[in-house]
Amino acid sequence: TKGQPMPTNSEGPLASASADPLSDLWRKLSRPAAYSRHLPTLELGAYDAEDALAHDACFHASDSALDDEDVRSLGLALTKAAPASLKSIHLGGNALRGGSLAALLAALPAAPALETLWLADNELDGAAMAAFAMCTGNGGGGGALKHLSLQRNRVGDDGAASLAAALAGGALPALELLYLGENEVGDAGATALAEALREGACPKLRRLGLQANRLGDGALEALAAALRAGAMKGGEFLYVGGNPFTPAGEARDALCESLRGGPLQCHFGWPPPKTKSFLITPPDRYARAW
């Protein structure tokens, strides 16, 4: 009507959904109760993502088509909820990038019990790892983190070096599992990680995944030197299969020799190393089971 003001983006029927990004995020991740497509008589319960973040031990939002704004909103939600019981966040397969990741990582101090951060199958590159280093170093968040999954990203040598610098500076002191497979990491990045471990970073590290990267003989020599110096002393597995090092070369032999006398096993290819429980189980137990 003439003389009346037009609605703006923050009022009336033209209000944008993005005016409340948290509401947008919860709508995207929540679901109502519904019957299973596969078992029509089975009713699946409703899922309230906002309540799950605030009260559950695990927050799962992998393969949810989250965009940068969603991830920034998740960081804001973490800060507001300060979830004391949250132990794991799964954000795999969401095409996350550096800018949005920084907003999420900056909120990690609000989740002091967080032990697992699953970021596999995203678009995290060297810049993202620089943001990661900035947010977790110098007393930042992630002090309780035990499991960091970064496989199948685009970390590269620069990203691995940034991560190594943060670890060498005391970031993630409780880390036990670090997975960096399929990330285009070469000798420079792997050597930086090895040197950080050699200097005492991640003293509780049990598993390090570097498979299907670009590791050559130089990387294996650096890893061998780190292990000889006491890195991963109580470790379980080191994964280096699927890399272009010399198959029967001196560097591979040196890495094998550095494992002698300790519990750490190295996975150079298939089949993978057997677990300790498998190795100490009497063979006749499996015969009886079959």
pLDDT in tens, 90-144: 999 998 988 788 889 999 999 999 999 999 999 999 999 999 998 887 777 899 9
Residue 272 confidence (pLDDT) above 50:
yes
| 7 domain residue, yes or no | no
Max mean pLDDT range (33-42, 92-101, 168-177): 168-177
Residues 189-202: what's their mean pLDDT?
98
CATH code at 223?
A: 3.80.10.10
Residue 12 confidence (pLDDT) above 80:
no
Return the higher-pLDDT residue of 248 and 273: 248
Alpha carbons 86 and 199: distance in angstroms, whole number: 31
Decide if 226 contacts 195 (C-beta within 8 A).
yes
| 15 domain residue, yes or no | no
DSSP 31: B
- What is the percent of the chain with per-residue pLDDT over 70, rounded to a whole number? 86
265 DSSP β-pair partners: 237
| 1 domain residue, yes or no | no
Return the H-helix or E-strand segment holding 200: none
Residues 7-32: what's their mean pLDDT?
67
Split at pLDDT 50, 70, 90, the class of 275 is low
Alpha carbons 67 and 72: distance in angstroms, whole number: 9
| 4 domain residue, yes or no | no
What pLDDT score does 36 carry?
84
Domain boundaries, position 234: 48-289
Residue 63 confidence (pLDDT) above 90:
yes
| 160 domain residue, yes or no | yes
Return the H-helix or E-strand segment holding 125: none
Give me the DSSP letters along 166-189. Answer: HHHTT-STT--EEE--SS---HHH
What pLDDT score does 286 carry?
34
What pLDDT score does 288 carry?
34
Split at pLDDT 50, 70, 90, the class of 44 is confident
Mean pLDDT score of the chain, rounded to an integer?
Answer: 88
What pLDDT score does 211 carry?
96
Residue written as tokens 């005016």? 19
What pLDDT score does 141 carry?
84
Residue written as tokens 């509401």? 23
**CA angle 118-213-121, nearest 5°?**
30
What pLDDT score does 188 carry?
99
The total number of structural domains in the chain stands at 1
Residue 8 confidence (pLDDT) above 70:
no
Return the higher-pLDDT residue of 262 and 99: 262
What pLDDT score does 97 carry?
87
DSSP 110: G
What pLDDT score does 278 carry?
53
Residue 234 confidence (pLDDT) above 80:
yes
What pLDDT score does 273 carry?
65
Residue 279 confidence (pLDDT) above 60:
no
Count other C-beta atoms under 10 Å from residue 148's C-beta: 21
What pLDDT score does 41 carry?
86
